[in-house]
Amino acid sequence: MKKFLYYWFQRRTVLRAVKVAAIVGPLLTVINQYDTLLNGDYSPRVILKIVLTFLVPYCVSSFSSAKVEVEKEMERESIGNP
């Protein structure tokens, strides 16, 4: 778990996740909140939904990147290469 969190917060993981969220977030927001965006009804609930819509791809990307890095490290350790 410690290794996983280390890789989760690594600079390149964060930057990759921000890029993914910057591309996927707006697309999902338009798909899910199209009517609300056109009506201009920006209640706190809608703002929270939009924030979560960006947060989900960020977390998925971070999780995937961290998992791959941990698996690579475990594979290197099992082979005997540091």
CA-CA distance, 50 to 67, in Å (whole number)? 26
Q: What angle do CA 67, 13, 21 make, to 5 degrees?
A: 105
pLDDT computed for residue 65 by the predictor: 96
What is the mean pLDDT for each group of 10 consecutive residues in the chain (82 residues)?
94 97 96 90 91 97 96 86 58
pLDDT computed for residue 81 by the predictor: 59
Taking the model in full, what pTM does it have?
0.84
| Of residues 6, 32, 23, 10, the one with CA closest to residue 58 | 23
